[in-house]
Amino acid sequence: MIASAFGQTIENLRENYSTTLSGIVMTSFSLVILGIFVLVYLNLIHLTQLAFLKNHYSVFLNDQASVAHQKEISIYIKDLPDVGEIKKISSAEAKTQLIESFDEAQEMLKKLDFPKFPDIIEFVLNRSEPLTANEIARLKAFEGVQDVITGRETRDQINTFFNIANFVGLFLIVLLIVCMVLIIYNTIHIAIRMRIKEIEILKILGAPSEFIRWPYILEGFLIAVVSYILSLAIIYFLYSFVVAGITFNTATYSIRTVVRFFSPLEMGNLFLTLILLGLFSSFLAANKVINYLDV
Amino acid sequence: MSIKPLITFRKVKKSFLGKEPLFSDINLEISEGEFIFLTGVSGAGKSTLFRLLLGLEKPDDGSIKFNGSEVTSLVGKEMLQHRRSIGMIFQDYKLLEKRTAEDNIAIPLQIKGISRSVKSAKIKDITHKLKISQILKQQVRSLSGGEQQLIAIARAAVHSPTLILADEPTANLDPRMATRIFDMLTLLNEEGMTVVVATHDINLLKAHKKRILLLKQSALIEVH
C-alpha cells in the first residue's frame, strides 16, 4: 500500500509540481523566519548563561594609547578591589585569533587586508557587585581609552530583550506554526481539488479512503522534509554570513565561538515536529475533501 | 439445474426532488453469465439504474440484491467490496487523462492490493485479449475516443469482476469502433462475466440478438 501510494505521490508531484513547489517555498519561508527567531532565542539563553558576562569588562584602546598610557590603565585596574584575571589582547593577536577561528577559510583570510582592530584590556571582578559608575567614569577618562564595555550591561540588555522575546516569542512561534500548517493544508487541499474528478472515479471503482488519502499525506510529508532541508540551509548560510560580518566589523573577534548554531538534538527535534505538522495538515486536508465527496 | 440470479430488483421506487418518479415499481432479475441490453430514451433512468446497483444512489423503496447481498444495506468496506466486484464502463470513459493507459488499467488491481508481478500478468492478459497492447504506454489524452473506451473496458475487466455495467459505451464512437467495442464486451461475456449494456443505439440492438430490457414511463419492460 505504502509503495503504491509513494508511486502515486511521485505521479501527483510530476503532474502538479507548481502547486507543490509554491507550497515548499511558502513553508520554507515561514520556517526560515521561525528558525531565525528560535536561533536568536537560543543564543540569548546561551549568552546570558555565559559566565564572563556576569562581571566582565573590556577596555577598548584607541590609536593614541601609548605604552605609558596602557601601563597607567593596567595599574588602575590592578588596584580595583576584587579584580581577577587581567588580559591584554593586541591588534595582531585579535587578527590571529579571528583567522584561527575560521577553520577552512584561514588561508584565504590571511591574504585579506583587515581593518585595524583596537587593542583591548579585558578583566573580570571576583564579586557579584559591578564597578561603580564613578570607577567606570575614571577608567573612561584615561588617555587612550576609547570605550569600556561591561559584561553586565550586555547581560542586562540581553535580559531585557529576553523578557520581551519570552512574551512575544510564544505568540510568534504559535503564529508561524499555524501559518505553516495552513500553507501545507492549502497546498494539499488545492492539489486534491484539482484531482477531484480522479478521486470520484477512484471512489466509484471501490477505492477505500486510505488508498486515496495516502498519496496526499505523503505529499505533505515530502513538502515538510524538503522545506526543512531548504530552510535549514538558508538559516545556516545567513548565520555564517552574519557571524562573519560581525567578526569582521567589530573587535568582538570571539563571537564565532559565542554565537552558536542549532545542536544536532535541536535539529532532530525541529525535524520531527515539522514532519508531524506536515502529516497532520495534509491528513486534515485530504480527509476534508474525501469525506465531502458523498460517493 | 437452475441458474443463480445475480441481480434482483424488487418493487424499486426512485424519484428525485421536485421531479416525477423515475421508477415507480421496477422488478428485474438477471442471471449469472447473461448479456443484456438496457434501453430507453435519454432520461429514462438507465444510468440511475446502474447507480442504484453500484450503491451510488439509494432507492426510495424496494430491494436491490446483488449476489445474494442487499445493496441498499451495504455500508463502509462492504460497499467498497461490492463496487470492486463490478466493472463499470462509462460513456465519457472516466479515465485518468494524464496517466498512461497501463496506469489506468492497473487501478482496480492497485485498489485490491495485488502484487506487482500478478498485476503485470493480468494487464498483459487483458490487453492482449482486447488487442490494445500497442497503446499501453501512451498517455490517455493522446488516444482516440475509441481507444480510450477500449482502455476503459480493459480497466473494467482486468480484475475479472462478476458483472460488467456499460453505460452507453458506443455513444460517441463511429460504427466500426462501436462494433469492435461490442465484440470485446461479447468476448468478456463468453469468458463468464455477466454484461449489462445501457444503450439507445437501435442498430446495435437489432444487430445482436440478446435479451432487451426497455425503460419506459417509469417501468421496465422485457422486449423480445
Contact B99 A1 (CB under 8 A): no
Higher model confidence: residue A250 or residue A8?
A8
Nearest CB to B94; choose among A1, A4, A201: A201
Contact A206 B83 (CB under 8 A): yes
Interval A126-152 mean pLDDT:
84
Contact B56 A198 (CB under 8 A): no
Contact A11 B111 (CB under 8 A): no
Q: Which long-range contacts (CB under 8 A, 24 or more apart) does A155-161 make?
A: A155/A47, A155/A48, A155/A53, A155/A54, A158/A44, A158/A47, A158/A48, A158/A53, A159/A48, A161/A44
Q: Provide the CA A264 distance to its chain's centre, in angstroms.
A: 13
Q: Which pLDDT tens digit goes with each residue over A180-194?
A: 888 888 888 888 888
Question: What per-residue confidence (pLDDT) applies to A50?
Answer: 62
Q: What does DSSP say about strands B163-167 and B86-89: parallel, antiparallel, or unpaired?
A: parallel
Radius of gyration for the alpha carbons in chain A, expressed in angstroms and rounded? 28
Question: What per-residue confidence (pLDDT) applies to B72?
Answer: 92
3-state SS class at B205: helix
Backbone angles phi, psi at B3, to 5 degrees: -80, 135
Q: Are A20 and A223 in contact (CB under 8 A)?
A: yes
Give the DSSP letter of residue B68. Answer: T
State the ipTM, two decimals.
Answer: 0.81
Range with the poorest average pLDDT among A38-42, A128-132, A148-152: A148-152
SS (H, E, C) chain A: CHHHHHHHHHHHHHHCHHHHHHHHHHHHHHHHHHHHHHHHHHHHHHHHHCHHHCCEEEEEECCCCCHHHHHHHHHHHHCCCCEEEEEEECHHHHHHHHHHHCCCCHHHHHCCCCCCCCCEEEEEECCCCCCCHHHHHHHHHCCCEEEEEEHHHHHHHHHHHHHHHHHHHHHHHHHHHHHHHHHHHHHHHHHHHHCHHHHHHHHHCCCCHHHHHHHHHHHHHHHHHHHHHHHHHHHHHHHHHHHHHHHHHCCCCCHHHHCCCCCHHHHHHHHHHHHHHHHHHHHHHHHHHHHHCCC
Interval A74-81 mean pLDDT:
90
Give A28→chain B minimum CA distance, Å.
29
Q: Which amino acid, B124?
A: K
Q: Which amino acid, A262?
A: F
So where are chain A's domains? Answer: 2-51+166-294, 55-127
Report the distance separating Cα B191 and Cα B158, nearest Å. Answer: 12
Question: What per-residue confidence (pLDDT) applies to A51?
Answer: 47
Residue whose C-alpha cell reads 587581567 in the numeric block: A86
Which residues from chain B sit within 8 angstroms of residue A201, using beta carbons? Answer: 94-96
Nearest CB to A206; choose among B96, B111, B113: B111
Q: Are A154 and A53 in contact (CB under 8 A)?
A: yes
What strand order describes the sheet that includes A83-89? A83-89, A120-125, A56-61, A145-150
Question: What per-residue confidence (pLDDT) applies to B11?
Answer: 92
Q: How many residues does chain B have?
A: 224
Q: Are B154 and B181 in contact (CB under 8 A)?
A: no
Residues of B with CB under 8 A from a CB of A: 54, 56, 77, 80-84, 88, 94-96, 98-99, 103, 107-108, 110-111, 113, 155
Q: Which pLDDT tens digit goes with each residue over A276-293?
A: 988 898 888 888 777 766
* Cα-Cα-Cα-Cα dihedral sign, residues B114, B120, B121, B126: positive
Give B206→chain A minimum CA distance, Å.
31
Contact A202 B110 (CB under 8 A): no
Which residues from chain B sit within 8 angstroms of residue A4, using beta carbons? Answer: 110, 113
Size of interface A-B (CB pairs under 8 A): 41
Higher model confidence: residue A96 or residue B127?
B127
Name the closest residue on chain B to residue A8, using Cα atoms.
B103
Q: What is the mean pLDDT of chain A?
A: 80
Nearest CB to B80; choose among A15, A197, A206: A206
Higher model confidence: residue B195 or residue A38?
B195
Report the distance separating Cα A247 and Cα A266, nearest Å. Answer: 25
Interval A74-82 mean pLDDT:
90
Which residues from chain B sit within 8 angstroms of residue A11, using beta carbons? Answer: 99, 103
Q: Which residues pair with B139 in a beta bridge?
A: B100
Residue A167 has pLDDT above 80, yes or no: no
Residue A34 has pLDDT above 50, yes or no: yes
pLDDT tens per residue across all 224 residues of chain B: 456 789 999 999 998 877 778 888 899 999 999 999 999 888 888 989 999 999 989 999 999 999 989 999 998 889 989 999 999 999 888 998 888 999 999 999 988 888 888 999 999 999 998 889 999 999 999 999 999 999 999 999 999 999 999 999 988 788 888 888 889 999 999 999 999 999 988 878 888 888 999 988 888 888 86
Nearest CB to B80; choose among A197, A201, A208: A208
Question: What per-residue confidence (pLDDT) applies to A35?
Answer: 87
3-state SS class at B130: coil
Give B84→chain A minimum CA distance, Å.
5
* B150 membership: H or E segment, kind and range: helix B145-157
Contact B111 A205 (CB under 8 A): yes
3-state SS class at B174: coil
Contact A295 B83 (CB under 8 A): no
Give the DSSP letter of residue B2. Answer: P
Which residues from chain A sit within 8 angstroms of residue B84, using beta carbons? Answer: 205-206
pTM, two decimal places: 0.66
Which residues from chain A sit within 8 angstroms of residue B94, using beta carbons? Answer: 197, 201, 204
Smallest CA-to-CA distance from B99 within A191, A211, A4, A15 is with A15
Instruction: For chain B, list the strands marked E by DSSP.
Output: 5-14, 23-31, 35-39, 61-66, 69-70, 86-89, 163-167, 194-198, 211-216, 219-223
Give A191→chain B minimum CA distance, Å.
14
At A199, list the grid cell.
478521486
Question: What per-residue confidence (pLDDT) applies to A53?
Answer: 54
Name the closest residue on chain B to residue A211, using Cα atoms.
B111
Neighbour-count burial of B149, counting CB atoms closer than 10 A to its CB (0-12 exposed, 13-18 middle, 19+ buried) = buried
Give B78→chain A minimum CA distance, Å.
10
Distances (CA, A) of A194 to A188, A190, B200: 10, 6, 33
